[in-house]
Amino acid sequence: MNSRQFFKSFGKEAAVKIYLFIGEEEGEKERALSMILSSFPKGQKIGRFHAESGEIVSAAEVLLQQDMFSEAKVSVIYGAEKLIKKTDITLINEILDSDSSGTIILMSSSSTVPAYMKKRKDFVEVMFWRMFESDLHAYGAERFREAGRFASKDVLAAITSLTGRDFTKFDAAVDKILSYNDSKNIAVETVVAVVADEKEVKIFDFINSLFLGKKDTLYLLSKVLGSGMHELQIFAFIWKEAERIEKYVSLKKSGMSDSDIAESIGVSASGKDEFLMRARRFDEAKIKKIFISLGNADSAVKGGQIVSDHETIVLNPLVEIVEAALF
């Protein structure tokens, strides 16, 4: 079956012991893998082995010695196409034949079925072709629709243009747009501001560095300003993230868990870890300091007290915000 058929049928059929994921679309493979892993009990230990690094021996040692009556097990073997030595093929067949191995997901970057799998009939093969532009657009439109937003064909084309037909980058771009913009109708200008070109410094890179208190924040600010983005646009992105962190601080004080907080304020699953790294740096006093600097910078920018030459970055009102975050 192809990946589209897999996503439609998953969970509707009998349990599968062995999956073989083949093809070059790694992002879609990871999405399918996450779907399978999420079907197991929370906290389930997952074995991950890289055949290309010679870990098939370790996989055999772990999987073949497990108690077949223990809790459900799941393991992922990457680089399945690299298993070509006779000893490796013997080991993988022993793993696949064993009742104690649990569920096995074989991941291969090749578009052909490995020779050692061709005579087997006890696995589900899923082909992951590189997605067509129309497929990416349909996926993106659906994601924006689920979030209560609308993305035109021009917006979807802009995201594709800036990320290429790479599902992982495309999906991450949608996450960033949803996280840093509240507009019901997504604008092409928003896409360019948030995603930028992969070769350029993105506004998200600056925001992430700012709230993590990294030393390169001032440099990234100068690059963003040098790209032509106006101070008010940058200010809006900083304010948005500061508000999210302020909500985190407040909800954390009430005793809510990090995962529940992230979900309640609309942080995407793929962006949760990075957000929590930023948010955990702050308490009430520190986030208040950020808002004070935001107020001062806002007054200065709107009052025309800005320096258009980004080379003279130290004189820019936004620098006060950077200094407030570097505690």
Are 194 and 239 part of one and the same domain? Answer: no
Domain span at residue 322?
Answer: 201-327
Are 276 and 238 part of one and the same domain? Answer: yes
Are 206 and 326 part of one and the same domain? Answer: yes
Amino acid 141: pLDDT: 93
CATH number of the domain at 147, please.
Answer: 1.10.8.60
Are 213 and 322 part of one and the same domain? Answer: yes
Cβ atoms 239, 294 nearer than 8 A: yes
Residue 100 has pLDDT above 70, yes or no: no
Question: Regarding predicted confidence, which is higher, 152 or 309?
Answer: 152
The string of pLDDT tens digits covering residues 109-127 is: 888 898 889 888 889 898 8
Question: Rounded to whole angstroms, how far apart are CA atoms 61 and 224?
Answer: 51
The string of pLDDT tens digits covering residues 121-166 is: 889 898 887 777 888 899 899 999 998 999 999 999 888 878 876 7
Are 205 and 189 part of one and the same domain? Answer: no
Decide which of 145, 174, 199 is a domain's last residue: 199
The string of pLDDT tens digits covering residues 275-292 is: 899 999 999 999 999 888
Residue 83 has pLDDT above 50, yes or no: yes
Are 23 and 86 part of one and the same domain? Answer: yes
Question: Rounded to whole angstroms, how far apart are CA atoms 154 and 161?
Answer: 10
Q: Of 220, 193, 219, 225, whose CA–CA distance to 207 is shortest?
A: 220
Are 88 and 141 part of one and the same domain? Answer: no
Name the β-bridge partners of 103: 74
Question: Rounded to whole angstroms, how far apart are CA atoms 33 and 166?
Answer: 17
| Number of residues that this document lists for the chain | 327
Task: Kindly tell me the burial class for residue 271, based on how many C-beta atoms sit within 10 Å of its own C-beta (0-12, 13-18, 19 or more).
Answer: middle
Are 280 and 214 part of one and the same domain? Answer: yes
Angle, helices 231-253 vs 284-302, to 10°: value is: 160
CATH number of the domain at 62, please.
Answer: 3.40.50.300
Summarize the confidence of residues 293-316 as an average pLDDT: 59
Summarize the confidence of residues 56-73 as an average pLDDT: 67
The string of pLDDT tens digits covering residues 45-56 is: 777 888 877 788
Using pLDDT thresholds of 50, 70 and 90, give the confidence band for residue 304: low
Are 174 and 92 part of one and the same domain? Answer: no
The string of pLDDT tens digits covering residues 165-204 is: 677 788 888 988 888 777 889 988 888 877 765 445 578 8
Residue 64 has pLDDT above 80, yes or no: no
List Cα–Cα distances, 309 to 135, 145, 245, 301, 317, in angstroms.
42, 40, 31, 14, 13
CATH number of the domain at 243, please.
Answer: 1.20.272.10
Question: Rounded to whole angstroms, how far apart are CA atoms 120 and 140?
Answer: 37
Are 112 and 168 part of one and the same domain? Answer: no
Residue 87 has pLDDT above 80, yes or no: yes
Q: How many domains does the chain have?
A: 3
Are 114 and 97 part of one and the same domain? Answer: yes
Decide which of 127, 161, 189 is a domain's last residue: 127
Summarize the confidence of residues 195-221 as an average pLDDT: 76
Matching residue, tokens 């079907």? 39
Q: For the stretch 72-96, what's the b/e string if a residue is b when 16 or more beta carbons lie within 10 angstroms of its beta carbon?
A: ebbbbbbbbbbbeeeebeebbeebb
Mind spelling out the 3-state secondary structure of the chain?
A: CEHHHHHHHCCCCCCCCEEEEECCCHHHHHHHHHHHHHCCCCCCCEEEEEHHHCCHHHHHHHHCCCCCCCCCCEEEEECHHHCCCHHHHHHHHHHHHCCCCCEEEEECCCCCCCHHHCCCCCCEEEECCCCCHHHHHHHHHHHHHHCCCEECHHHHHHHHHHHCCCHHHHHHHHHHHHHHCCCCEECHHHHHHHHCCCCCCCHHHHHHHHHHCCCCHHHHHHHHHHCCCCHHHHHHHHHHHHHHHHHHHHHHHCCCCHHHHHHHCCCCHHHHHHHHHHHCCCCHHHHHHHHHHHHHHHHHHHCCCCCCCHHHHHHCCCHHHHHHHCC
Global pTM reads 0.46
Are 108 and 184 part of one and the same domain? Answer: no
Angle, helices 203-212 vs 188-195, to 10°: value is: 50
Decide which of 64, 99, 127 is a domain's last residue: 127
Neighbours of 58 (CB within 10 A): 13
Residue 315 has pLDDT above 60, yes or no: no
High-pLDDT (> 90) share of the chain, %: 15
Amino acid 303: pLDDT: 62
